[in-house]
Amino acid sequence: MAQSRVTDFYVRRRPGLAAPRTKSTCRTPSPTRLATSVSAPGGSRKRGRPTTVPGSDQPVPPARRRLRLPPADSGSLADPGSPVHPSSARRIKKVAVSEDPAPHSTTQKPWDKVRRLNCSSYDSISELQSCLQRARELGARVQALRARVQEDAGELHTPDVEVSTEQPCVEKVPAYQRFHALAQPCPPGLVLPYKYQVLAEMFRSMDTIVGMLHNRSETVTFAKVKQGVQDMMHKRFEERNVGQIKTVYPTSYRFRQERDVPTFKDSIKRSDYQLTIEPLLDQEAGGSAPQLTASHILHRRQVFRQNLVERVKEHHKAFLASLNPPMAVPEDQLMRWHPCFNVDEVPDIEPAELPQPPTTEKLTTAQEVLARARSLMSPKMEKALSSLALRSAEPGNPASPGPALPATPPATPPAASPSALKGVSQALLERIRAKEAQKQLAQMMRCPEQELRLQRLERLPDMARVLRGVFVSERKPALTMEVVCARMVGSCQAALSPGEMEKHLQLLSELLPDWLSLHHIRSDTYIKLDKAADLAGITARLARQARAEGL
C-alpha cells in the first residue's frame, strides 16, 4: 500500500497544480501504545503490535499514529483556489487528528463534525450577542435608577447640610480620653481626668529637667525645658501648659523674662528676651544654694496631684448641689465620685499669665514714621508719606478699620421636660430619689476596707452551698482549713487564692457561728459544719446581711 507524503497536502492546495496520487496515511509512533505493547520473545528489543480480540470487526490498532490528509475528492470544502481561513484550517486539522484512525469509514465522515462545529459556533455567537444586548439594557436601567436615588437623597439632605454648615465645627475627643475614668481601678475611687493626668505627668517631667539644670547652676530657660519634656513624654509642651502648671501650683516656680542668656542656637539671639524658670525651695541653714533633690521632687509631685484632686472636688461639689434632691458629702469622707459624675468632662484648667517681654515702641502708621524720622528724610519722601497718611485717614477707605461688631452669645438649648415621668405620683418619685441618694451617698463615703468586706459578703451565699457540698462528699464531721480551702478554690466560680478563701471562711464563721465553727488545735485549724441546718435559710441570712451593709 502506497504511503502519501506530508508535502503532497501543500502541493494540492496550490492553484494550477495537479493533485498527486493518494497514498495511505503515515503513522507516527504513540508513546502510550508503545509502553503497553508486549515485548517479543527471545529478548529482542522490538515490540510487537497488540493482538486483536477474535470475533471483532475492529481493525488491528496501528503501531504508529496517523497523520490524516484530506482526500482528493473533497474539493467542495477545501478548494485549492478558494482562500481558507487559518482558524478553520486549524479546526479541520484538530478534528482530523482526533477522528477514528480508519480513513475509509462509511458510517460517519470527519467533515460532518466540522459542519456541526461551525453551526454550534454560529449559535453561540448569536446567544452571546443577545446576552450582551440584554446586559446593556440592564446597565442602562441601573444607571437610571441610581441617578434617581441620588436626586432623591440630595433633596432630602439639602436642609440638613445647610443646618450643619451654620453650626460651629467641634473637634470630637477620642474615646480613650472621654472614658478614661471608667478604665481605672475603682478603689481608691478619686480618679483624675485624662487631661489632668497628662498635666501631672508634664509637671513631673518638667520638675526633673529643671532639677537637673538647677543643680548644675545653669540658667533654666523655657526652650531647654520644652525640648527635654517633649523627649520624655513624646507630646507637645507649650507655654500654655506652663501657665496651667502655675495655676495649679503657684508656689512651684518663679518666672522671669531675661536677656543676655547664653544660648547655642542660631534661631535665638543673645539679646532676645527669654522666659527663665527658677524652682522655689526653702533656704538651707548653711546659706548655700538649695538643691532640688529626689525627696523634694517627690513631695512637689504629691502636692501637685493633691491640688488637682481639690479642683475636681470643687466641680464634684457643684454637681452634687445641682442634683434633685441635693447632696452634701464631707470632703474628708469622700472616697469616690458620684456614679453619675462624668470625670472626664471636667473643664480644662485656665492657664495663668506668664511674664511677657517688655514691649518696644513700634511704628505702625505713616504719621508715626513721619513724626519720628522727619529730620532724617528728604523733602520728596516726606511729601509722599504725608499724602499716604491723608489717604489712610479718609473714612471711605476700605483699609481703615471699622467699629467692631458685638459678639452674640450662643443660644442655650431649652431644658428637656420630664415627659417620661408623666402620670407617676410625686410622692413615689420623691421616695425613690431619696433612697437612691442615700445609697449613692453611702457608696461615695465607703472606705476601701468596707468595699472589700462588701465584695466578700456578696460571694458568701454561693460559697455556703459549695462548702456544704464539700462536707457532704467527705463524710467527715470536721476538716482542716487547708483541705477545705483547696476544695473550695477548685469549685467556686470566683478565681481566689487559698489565702483569700480562708478570709472568706473566717468571715462566714463570724456571721454564722451556729452553723460554721473554727477550732484551733495545735498548729492546725479545723472546721465543723452543721449539715442538718436549712441551706435556704442560711443563704437568705447572708443575702440580708449583704444588703444591709451595702446601703
Q: What's the pLDDT tens digit per position in 139-194?
A: 999 999 888 888 876 654 444 434 344 444 456 778 877 777 777 665 556 889 99
Least confident of 211-215, 326-330, 504-508: 326-330
pLDDT at 394: 64
For residue 464, give Cα distances in angstroms to 285, 468, 483, 525, 537.
65, 6, 16, 18, 11
pLDDT band at 53 (very low <50, low <70, confident <90, very high): low
Give, to the nearest 10 degrees, the angle between helix 498-511 and helix 481-491: 110
Count helices and strands in the chain by DSSP H and E runs = 16, 7
DSSP E strand boundaries for 306-384: none
Average pLDDT over residues 334-354: 89
pLDDT at 164: 40
C-alpha cell at 257: 523674662
The Cβ-side half-sphere exposure at 386, using a 13 Å CA radius, reads 9
Give dist(CA 382, CA 375) in Å, integer.
Answer: 9
pLDDT band at 260 (very low <50, low <70, confident <90, very high): confident
Mean pLDDT, the chain, rounded, equals 74
Specify the higher pLDDT residue, 451 or 296: 296
Average pLDDT over residues 506-532: 89
Tens of pLDDT along 220-237?
Answer: 999 999 999 999 999 999
Residue 34 has pLDDT above 80, yes or no: no
Task: Report the DSSP pairing between strands 516-521 and 478-480.
Answer: unpaired
Tens of pLDDT along 401-415?
Answer: 444 444 444 444 444
Tens of pLDDT along 289-308?
Answer: 788 999 999 999 999 999 99
Least confident of 110-119, 178-187, 198-207: 110-119
pLDDT at 119: 53
